[in-house]
Amino acid sequence: SSDLRERILKIQEQQIPSHVAIIMDGNGRWAKKRALPRIAGHHEGMKVVRKITKLANELGLKTLTLYAFSTENWKRPKMEVDFLMKLPEEFLGTFLPELVEENVQVRMIGDMEMLPAHTRNAISKAMADTLGNDGLILNFALNYGSRAEIIEGIKLVLNDCKSGIMNENELNEDIFSSYLMTRELSDPDLLIRTSGEIRLSNFMLWQLAYTEFWFTNVLWPDFGEEHLVEAIEVFQNRQRRFGGV
Confirm whether 8 is domain-assigned: yes
Confirm whether 205 is domain-assigned: yes
The CATH number linked to 8 is: 3.40.1180.10
d(CA 190, CA 196): 17
Catalytic residues: 25, 73
Domain that holds residue 59: 2-144+188-237
**Is the separation of the CB atoms in 218 and 209 below 8 Å?**
no
Q: pLDDT for 136-193, tens place per residue? A: 999 999 999 999 999 999 999 999 999 999 999 999 999 999 999 999 999 999 999 9
Confirm whether 231 is domain-assigned: yes
Confirm whether 45 is domain-assigned: yes
Total tally of structural domains belonging to the chain: 1
What's the Cα-to-Cα distance from 179 to each of 64, 106, 161, 174, 187, rounded to whole Å? 20, 20, 13, 9, 14
Confirm whether 161 is domain-assigned: no
Q: pLDDT for 74-110, tens place per residue? A: 999 999 999 999 999 999 988 999 999 999 999 999 9
For the entire predicted model, the pTM comes to 0.95
Determine the distance from the C-alpha atom of residue 5 to the mean position of all C-alpha atoms in its chain, rounded to a whole number.
Answer: 25
Confirm whether 61 is domain-assigned: yes
Confirm whether 158 is domain-assigned: no
Q: Are strands 137-144 and 63-70 parallel, antiparallel or unpaired?
A: parallel
Q: pLDDT for 28-56, tens place per residue? A: 999 999 999 999 999 999 999 999 999 99
Backbone angles phi, psi at 212, to 5 degrees: -80, 135
